[in-house]
Amino acid sequence: MPSPLYERYLRIQKRRQRLIWLTRLVLLAAFLVLWELAADWKWVDSMLTSKPSQLWGSFRELAMEGSLFRHVWISAQETLIGIAVSMAVGTLVAMLFWWSTFASKVLEPYMVVLNALPKVALGPIFFIWLGDRYSVYGMAVAISVIVTIIMIENGFKDISRTKLKLMESFGASKLQMLRMVLLPASVPHFIATLKVNVGLTLVGVIMGEFLSSKAGLGYLIIYGGQVFQMNLVMVSIAMLALLSIALYGVVNVLERYARKKYHHES
Amino acid sequence: MARRESGTRETNGEHIRLSGVGLSYFTPREETEALRDVELSIGKGEFISIVGPSGCGKSTLLSLVSGMLKPTKGKVSIDGAEVTGPSAKVGYMLQHDHLFEWRDVLGNVTVGAEIRRMEKAAAKRRGAELLERYGLGDFIRHAPVQLSGGMRQRVALIRTLVAEPDILLLDEPFSALDYQTRLTLSEEVFHIIKDQGKTAVLVTHDLSEAISMADRVMVMSKRPSTISAVHNIVFDEGEGLSPWSKRQAAKYHDYFNAIWKELDDHAVSAL
């Protein structure tokens, strides 16, 4: 039986939590209402800003003809594949760097330069090499892979040396250390990297679609801008926001599952 | 090399031998001579403690026996064969348990056996048996985070035992624990090691632990260290005393004072 004081504490906590959510929703609603009224009362030019009721209209229109969700799906697909590729490549390279200190030392300055280089500048190269369809993937992976390598490598370095000493005392090979200690101990680092990766890969995908593509949210945004259809631009941006929320949600579910499975304390 | 033997005791067969062992560390900046002219012979089933000032290379000595380090001079051999790498005859127990939190207790105690590619089912059976025998039977499926510090260290010892070593190297295995747990656990570990008939080398900075657990206590000098004295720990109360009763024995304080004084002398002579 919880004591009355504890019950009171729980009640207050719950009320506070509800208040936070309520305020968030009110903030969003107030923003939308203000936007709508500002356009109606001609405080701003609705040609330039559009307005929520118009957005809703064009969302329904676009959704009806089905093309909106096709564009969302294409961007989502590109992002997921981009994340998978850069996680896989990043982990492999980080493993190589751990395996061979020599390779890691040799490649260190190149990593620094690649990390600092604005990857967007590589856009034309990807377009020429990969064509308009696959250059999006090139851009997505280019933007996220270097950070992935660096984060996972740092994760490996964080794992205590004495844990590896223990493995060594049993005569473990490097492969065994990797499989039995480094990879399972890095699960929290993988999750943290994945979180960063979702954001970066999405930037890469949209950037890639800006530069060259025939579909996707990035394409839709650029197209809407070119034909001066602010409704289309804004609806696409809203869909992009929803897409990133969905991706973060998936990562959070994965995180909860992995922490439970591997007993990593949060 | 001043070497004093206070009494003698026969050992049944030489097990570990270090002859003329020296070890130097190299860093780009300097060379450090950690060990010089270490002579050591340990018999089967013997329990040896090594004490000495901090940083004198006690742990280095264990790494040499385990084969994780190679001596720059001299030779380390086990059962007459030179040690060239980590050997299946040796089990190492470290200061921290380093249990893998992503494995349950049984999964942890079979780690060593898994690395050595011993038969899986047999290792599991042996692990479960040892856990049961040493009071951890109810925790086989628990996660390490659910265990207390003393229990974790017992799991670590069992992990070493499951790999079936003849020799146990204990590198300050109790120093991360609180005093009470330390006393109880050293008692338990002593009995487990005797029960399993293993040869043990314990490195510690705790003199009472060293005296109460070992058949012989070796004192090491400051760097470059060597073994400066060996004490055979024999009590009038008889053989086979537990560490707890050794702490009560009449001659315990004589040993303590003698070793204390030796360590003190080194500290002074190093100034």
Q: Is residue A101 part of a domain?
A: yes
- In-domain check, residue A220: yes
Nearest C-alpha in B relative to A161: B98
For residues B199 and B222, what is the distance between their CA atoms, to the nearest angstrom? 26
Structure tokens at B181: 């747990």
Cα end-to-end distance, chain B, whole Å = 19
Judged by CB atoms within 8 Å, which residues 77-136 of B form the interface with A? 85-88, 90-92, 94-96, 98, 100-102, 111-112, 114-116
Q: What SS3 state is found at B220?
A: strand
The distance of A167 to chain B (nearest Cα, Å) reads 8
Count CA within 13 A, CB hemisphere, residue B220: 30
> CATH for B5-89+199-269?
3.40.50.300
* Cα–Cα dist A103/B178, whole Å: 44
Instruction: Write the single-letter amino acid at B126.
Output: R
Rounded CA separation B61/B84 (Å): 15
Task: Give me the residue from A162, A169, A263 closest to B101, CB to CB.
Answer: A263
* Domain assignments of chain B as residue spans, ordered by start: 5-89+199-269
For B86, which of A162, A171, A184 is closest by C-beta distance? Answer: A171
- The C-alpha angle with vertex A239 and arms to A238 and A243, in degrees rounded to 5, equals 120
Q: How far apart are CA A10 and CA A27, in angstroms?
A: 26
Bridge partners for B22 per DSSP? B73
Q: What is the pLDDT of residue A194?
A: 94
Per the structure, the count of domains in chain A is 1
Query: Which domain range does residue A194 map to?
Result: 52-262
pLDDT digits (tens, 9 = 90+) for A62-115: 888 888 899 999 999 999 999 999 999 999 999 999 999 999 999 999 999 999
Q: Which amino acid is at B90?
A: V
Interface test with A, best of B64, B114, B115 (most A CBs within 10 A): B115
> Chain-centre distance of CA B208, in angstroms?
15
ipTM value of the model? Answer: 0.79
Do B41 and B17 touch, CB atoms closer than 8 A?
yes
pLDDT averaged over every residue in chain A: 91
**A61: CATH:** 1.10.3720.10
- Residue A47: inside a domain, yes or no? no
Q: What is the pLDDT of residue B88?
A: 85
pLDDT for A150: 93
Q: Hunting for tokens 């040799």 — which residue is that?
A: A106
Any residues with CB less than 8 A from the CB of B130 and at least 6 apart, and which? Answer: B109, B158, B161, B162
- Dihedral class, residue A229 (left if φ above 0, else alpha if ψ from -120 to 50, else beta): beta
Residue from A27, A18, A15, A59 nearest A232 by CA: A59
* Span A219-238, average pLDDT: 91
Check residue A139 and give its pLDDT.
94
Q: Are B50 and B225 in contact (CB under 8 A)?
A: no
